[in-house]
Structures are given as structure tokens and as C-alpha cells.
Structure 1
Amino acid sequence: MSQHRKPRTHSVLTQRAIRVGLLAAGAAGLATAVPAQAVTGTAHSAVALDRTYSRADVLHHKDMKQSMTVRQFGEVHTGTVRNQATALGVGCSVDDHCRSVAISMQIVMMAGEHVHLNAINRGDAINQYCDGCQTLASAYQFVVSTPRPFALSKETKGRLADIHRRLDALTRSTLRATDLKARVDSLAAEVTAVLRDAVAKAPKGPVRPNVTLHRHLDGWPAH
């Protein structure tokens, strides 16, 4: 029996968002958020919070959630971005299994030569009196840095939407946690490759374009 509690965090997003590449009914779509400053080209401060939360308990034995969000900030001088996946299991037993899966993929695009960035990425699997729970939280944060602002092409958006559809199918699957982790890691590698292909076509500048992946996985049981 185990009990782990962690504080929740809150933030305000000052962006306008549009949905593209929607999945079937009941599934989250690939979201792109573009702040007004990204349109005007004015350097600004960027703030974003993306979170996926799932809860399984004696009344709802399975809860599997996923998200993939693209944040396009344009030219910035400072940025604070947080990505969080939280999977909670409550009150199940070894004879009454529960499964809670939360996967969050956040893609942050920002331009500038001297950007001060505070990037936080967390995956938390929490069991509360739940010997029969399987919880998995996976957080992937992709930071795309370029010297000049650029927009993702239709082809790139289509490739990301295809990965998102496969992520949704994986999240709802019955794979063991270890197999699910490996498969989602493989999709994350595909996202990295797609973004690197995209930045290769970005406007050139004194700073070399770069794609950085932050990855944090947490699970119960651990194996």
C-alpha cells in the first residue's frame, strides 16, 4: 500500500489558440497556440502551461489521457514553459485492478539570439491506497530554438497530426507499462526528427537552430 501526494500548480496563458488536425470524437486534437506578439514580430515574454491529468478509482477503473500541443511564440527575450503529466490511482486492490495513464507532449517554438528560458517538465504517477493500481505518467517537452521566427508548414503539421493519432491509439491500448513506455518513446523520437527537418528550413541567423527534448517518466509499479 502506498500514498504519494504532490502539489498542483496553476498558471495563466496569454495566448489565442486554434485547433488543427482534430482526431475522432472523444479524443484530443493537436493544438497550436500563437500569441499576438508572434504575428507582429515584437519580442516579448512567453508563458505556457500544458497538463494532462488522469484518475482511476473504484468507480472508474480505467482513465487514459494524452495531449500534444504546439506553442508558437515568435521572437521572445524570456520564456517560462511548463509541461506536466499526472496519473492518479485511488483505492483499488490487487483483486480489483485500476489503470491510469497520462501522457503530455508539449512543443515550444521560440526565436531569438539571447533567450532566457525556464523550462519545467514533470511526469508524476501517484498511488493513494491503491495496491492494485497501474499508473504511468509520461511528459515530453520539445524546445525548438531558432534565430528568426518561422511557422510550421502544412506538411510538418500533417506529420505531427499523424503521430498524435498513433499516440492516442497507444494511450488507449492495453499494453503493459514497460511496452507502452518504449512505444511512446519511439513516437517522441519521431517528433524530434520531424522538428529537426522543419528547423533545417528555418530562416538562417547567427544562432544555429536547435531542437531539445526534455523527458520525464514516472510509473507504478516501476517495472
Structure 2
Amino acid sequence: MKHRIARRSSTIGRTARRLGVLSGVCLAALAVAAPADAVPFSSRPGRGVAAFADRATTHAGRVHPDQYEDSFTVHELGTVFSVAANNRATAVSAGCSSQHPCRSIALSFQIVTMAGDDVRLNATNLGRAVNEQCPGCQTLAGAYQFIVSTAQPFALSPAARTQLAAVHRRLDALDTSNDPVAVVKQRADDLAAQVKALLDREASAAAGSGAAARSAKSGPSVTVHRHYDGAN
């Protein structure tokens, strides 16, 4: 029987874990209330410094041999001068047999929008999959980090938020898939491509053509960090 892990929908709980590089900085977070299947958003306008961590973690074993978890969070920061963003996916399979193998999948999507010139960014994005005495087990960890940088702060449009929520639902739907991890990985890559295209459009629209845009050192950019680890 498939055991489903309850997904995280609270941004406060995750963003409260401060990274060591900024452990001495007091941060305030505002979480936007949303339904459980919506995208968690966080915002720190005008704070200048931000640090947060997002996680997806699974541990499959004999009792619960089929595990899946995903995380999908958007951090809209406004104008900042220093950001520490940490995104990790960790999947573990342990103690199952080749006759009854485990399946453990963790996927984490983190979206960060920030504005300003010469922002000090410390971005960590890591996927880690581990098989512990688990022959034939399928273990997959994938981390996707999207960094949107613009000269002037902007908010994602309502249409973009709706589209991101739809991507999140499709990511959630992978929970009920019995596809091999290679297929799940491809589907996650397809969803990441949709997120990238959406963010490209939003960043370009936000750039504008006013005096502030013309004086910016560089145009808007969307950088994607992707890291996978898998063991079969």
C-alpha cells in the first residue's frame, strides 16, 4: 500500500531556518495564506537582507516502501543587497529487498525574485539520493532553483501565480504515478521548463522601458540551477 507524506504548505516553518552565513540577522517573514494545494509565497519588501531554506525529504523502508514528497515555494524579495537561498531534496531508501524494492522520490522547486545591482547572492541547490542496503530500489532526489534578478522590484502577476499553482498541482500529481524514476525525472524537467518560460516572460514585462530601466547595469535575468542524484 502506498504511503503518502503530507506536503508542507507553510512558508514560515521553512523560512525560519536561518543559514549560518546570516545567523545573526533578525528576519521578518510574511506568509500569504493559501489553500493547501496553492503555491506558498513569502515576501520581505525593503529588508535588504534575506535568508531561507526549502526542503523535500523522503525515507522509504519496509514499513513504508513507497514515498514521495515535493516542495514548491516562491520568495518575492523586492530590493535587496544580500541573499542566502538554500534548496535541497533528499531521498533515502533503506532495508528493502530485491523482491520487494523501495521507491523514494523527493523534488524541491524554489523560486526567488530579487531586485538591485550587485546583489550578494549565496545560492545552494542540492539533490542527494541514498540507497542503504536496498538492492533494486528506486531512489531519486531533484532540486530546482530559479533566481530572477531585475533592476527594479516587481510582483508576479495574478496570471503568473495561477500558472505556477497549476504547475505545482502537476508536480503533486507525480505522487500517484507508478512510472519509473527516469520518467518522473523527465516530467519534472518538463515542469521546470514551463516555470522558466513563465519567469522569463514576467521578468521581461517587469523590466519596462523607463529611466530606471535604462540606467540599470544589466537587463533582467532568470538563472536556473538544477541538481539530480539517483540510485537504482
**What band does the TM-score fall into relative to the shorter chain?**
0.7 to 0.9
Structure 2: where are the runs of 5+ without partners? 1-15, 20-26
Name the structure where helix makes up a greater proportion of residues: 2
Question: Any conservation in 1 of the 2:145–2:225 contact (CA below 8 Å)?
Answer: yes
Question: Any conservation in 2 of the 1:92–1:98 contact (CA below 8 Å)?
Answer: yes
Structure 1: where are the runs of 5+ without partners? 1-9, 24-28
Please, what TM-score do these two structures have when normalized by structure 1?
0.86
Question: 1:33: which partner in 2?
Answer: 42
> SS of the counterpart of 1:100?
strand
Question: 1:4: which partner in 2?
Answer: none
Q: 2:223 aligns with which of 212, 217, 222?
A: 212
Question: Any conservation in 2 of the 1:85–1:123 contact (CA below 8 Å)?
Answer: yes
Return the offset for 1:68. 0.7
Question: Any conservation in 1 of the 2:103–2:139 contact (CA below 8 Å)?
Answer: yes
Question: 1:193: which partner in 2?
Answer: 197
**In 1, Cα distance between the equivalents of 2:122 and 2:18?**
16
Return the offset for 1:21. 5.7
Does residue 137 of the first structure (1) align with residue 146 of the second (2)?
no
Return the offset for 1:171. 3.5
Question: Any conservation in 1 of the 2:207–2:219 contact (CA below 8 Å)?
Answer: no
Q: 1:61 aligns with which of 61, 65, 79?
A: 65
Q: 1:117 aligns with which of 121, 126, 137?
A: 121
Question: Any conservation in 1 of the 2:207–2:220 contact (CA below 8 Å)?
Answer: no
> SS of the counterpart of 1:200?
helix
Name the structure where strand makes up a greater proportion of residues: 1
Q: Aligned ranges for residues 41-120 of structure 1 at < 5 Å?
A: 42=46, 44-120=48-124
What amino acid maps onto 2:50 in structure 1? A
Return the offset for 1:11. 3.2
Does residue 12 of the first structure (1) align with residue 18 of the second (2)?
yes
- Quickly say closer, same or farther: Cα 1:21–1:196, change in 2 above 3 A: farther
Post-superposition CA distance 1:158-207 (Å, at most 9, x none): 01111111111123311111111111101100000011111111144213
Post-superposition CA distance 1:13-35 (Å, at most 9, x none): 83222243642xxxxx4110112
User: How large is the RMSD of aligned CA atoms in angstroms?
Assistant: 1.6
Question: Any conservation in 2 of the 1:21–1:161 contact (CA below 8 Å)?
Answer: no
Question: Any conservation in 1 of the 2:101–2:138 contact (CA below 8 Å)?
Answer: yes
Q: Aligned ranges for residues 139-158 of structure 1 at < 5 Å?
A: 139-158=143-162
Question: 1:180: which partner in 2?
Answer: 184
Return the offset for 1:12. 2.2
Question: Any conservation in 1 of the 2:50–2:83 contact (CA below 8 Å)?
Answer: yes
> SS of the counterpart of 2:161?
helix
Return the offset for 1:43. 5.3
**In 2, Cα distance between the equivalents of 1:17 and 1:121?**
23
- Quickly say closer, same or farther: Cα 1:106–1:113, change in 2 above 3 A: same
Question: Any conservation in 2 of the 1:52–1:84 contact (CA below 8 Å)?
Answer: yes
> SS of the counterpart of 1:20?
coil
